[in-house]
Amino acid sequence: MRRLIPAVSLCFAVLTIALSNAQDVKVTSATSKIVELEWTGAGAAAVLERSAGQTFQKIGPAGSGKYQDTSIDPFGIYQYRINTSGKFSNVVTVGPPPLGVSNAAPARKGSEYPNYGPATAIALDENGDPAIAFESIDPNGDGDKSDTEIRFVRWDRATYKWTQPVRVAVTGALGDQNVNPIALGCDRATGTFAILAALAESTVYSISSDHGATWKNLPLPTNVATPHGVALLIGSSQVSAAINAEEGATYFTGPVMDASTWKAKPIPAGEAWKLRNNTNIAITQDTAGNVALAFYEDQQEGDTHRYGFWRPNDSGPVAIVSSAPVDSPDVALSYASSKFVSIFAAQLDDDDSGRTVWFSQSNDGSTWSKPVKLPVDGPRSTNPPLALAISSKGAITAAFGSNSGSGPTACNSPTVSRSADSTGWTTCGLGKAAGADFSPQPATLHTIEAPDDEVFVVWQEVAETKYGPGILVWRGR
């Protein structure tokens, strides 16, 4: 007698066959040089397609179940899918962060938002994408700040999203007396990350050799007591670092993986000058890899102040600008397009005491141009924190705070001023274009140029915007 298959069982069998033939594209690895893909369920008629915009195009057959795409722009954003006679698989996206604003590390809902990221640092990873270190004060919210920690987050091209923040070190209170106590560097040749942080009474140096997934602390050659500002650069497996502490400022050099052998050199003040110890030190390097620092000095006998520029082979600093009194000193320094550029907080215009952010540049580091006051787009102040980046074509992006004023800005915040050639400046914040009302005075603020001349702006956001509070990142040109 003929056996009948129940309808329920038949439906189940058809569903099982459909699922087993489903096409599931996965990104197994993605860098600025190569994208590796795998998938299942693709028949002989299937092809792999890629889109760098609105239109998908065939780039290879899909029968092998895997593909390595090496014909990519290092900073292109791509989508991939399987096409089987007009039936499509899932779509995966790879590449650098999208244009506009994203939240790299969202603050926990209902937590104390100002405690999440009041100190931050940024660097470019081996792909030229941003990585961020940040302070998380009292992460469990019990009122005890002894468990304050440094966390790390980076952009993951394979998943096309920010990684989950990982703990670098439990530090307790950081030495953040109106300065940024965290510095982050990346050796882009190896992908090794390093973080230098100023604690209340000492410093901590942490490294990661697995792209920031795990971290370990390394001992420094000397205990720097009561540190404040820190700065860090990494390249060719070597570190260049600066620590501004109560007993003086020190420049360190040595191997990334062995901080105990670092060589220390006092950062000299000019004759009759003294570095102010509770201020930031800015660091950059030229195309030859030569390091340069900028910092704030007080006159030992008198009321004059200045910002100094110093390279480790120089006997002493030269002045970027003198007669620069200000309640909250700060300086940012960058190099590209064969010139050094700097912005600094100074009171140089007695008739406009609320706007204190000025710009100067130098072709050789020895002589600096007459300072130019950066504009705002509303009746607001300009003040620290300061951030500065310059592209390979000489375009400059400056970002700064705006803690007071008689009215709003036209473009919202954070305040960003830009110049194509360092002669004319246009100031327009990021909030209006992003459709959000961002805070005008972030606790920390950074800019950095990617190798494709896209600029990133990173800041702590404590307001409940559509992007949420946390560590926000803007990418644009």
Q: For 417-434, how does the pLDDT look when each residue is reduced to its tens digit (9 = 90+)?
A: 999 999 999 999 999 999
Does 275 lie in the same domain as 140?
yes
Asked, for residue 333, whether it belongs to a domain, the answer is: yes
Domain assignment of residue 70, given as a range: 24-94
Asked, for residue 191, whether it belongs to a domain, the answer is: yes
Does 140 lie in the same domain as 84?
no
Query: By percentage, how much of the chain surpasses pLDDT 90?
Result: 86
Query: By percentage, how much of the chain surpasses pLDDT 70?
Result: 95
CA 462/CA 473 separation, integer angstroms = 14
Over residues 470-477, the mean pLDDT reads 95
pTM score of the predicted model: 0.93
Tokens 């007591």 — which residue?
A: 225
Does 119 lie in the same domain as 67?
no
Tell me which of 94, 113, 141 is where a domain ends.
Answer: 94
Region of poorest pLDDT, from 18-32, 244-258, 372-386, 413-427: 18-32
Asked, for residue 51, whether it belongs to a domain, the answer is: yes
* Domain harbouring 79, CATH code: 2.60.40.10
Q: How many domains does the chain have?
A: 2
In what order do the strands lie in the sheet containing 192-198?
A: 182-187, 192-198, 203-208, 216-218
Asked, for residue 14, whether it belongs to a domain, the answer is: no
H helix or E strand, kind and range, residue 9: helix 7-20
* Per-residue pLDDT at 178: 76
* Per-residue pLDDT at 5: 43
* Per-residue pLDDT at 16: 34
Averaged pLDDT score across all residues of the chain: 92
Tell me which of 51, 71, 94 is where a domain ends.
Answer: 94
Span 267-303, pLDDT tens digits: 999 999 999 999 999 999 999 999 999 999 999 999 9
Using alpha carbons, list the distances in angstroms from residue 380 to 4, 34, 135, 353, 415.
Answer: 82, 46, 28, 11, 10
Over residues 54-76, the mean pLDDT reads 95
Does 121 lie in the same domain as 253?
yes
Which token pair is 40? 């299942």
Q: Nearest Cα to 166, choosing from 109, 93, 216?
A: 216
Tell me which of 94, 118, 143 is where a domain ends.
Answer: 94
Asked, for residue 5, whether it belongs to a domain, the answer is: no
Look at residue 220 and tell me whether its pLDDT is greater than 90: no
* Per-residue pLDDT at 176: 66
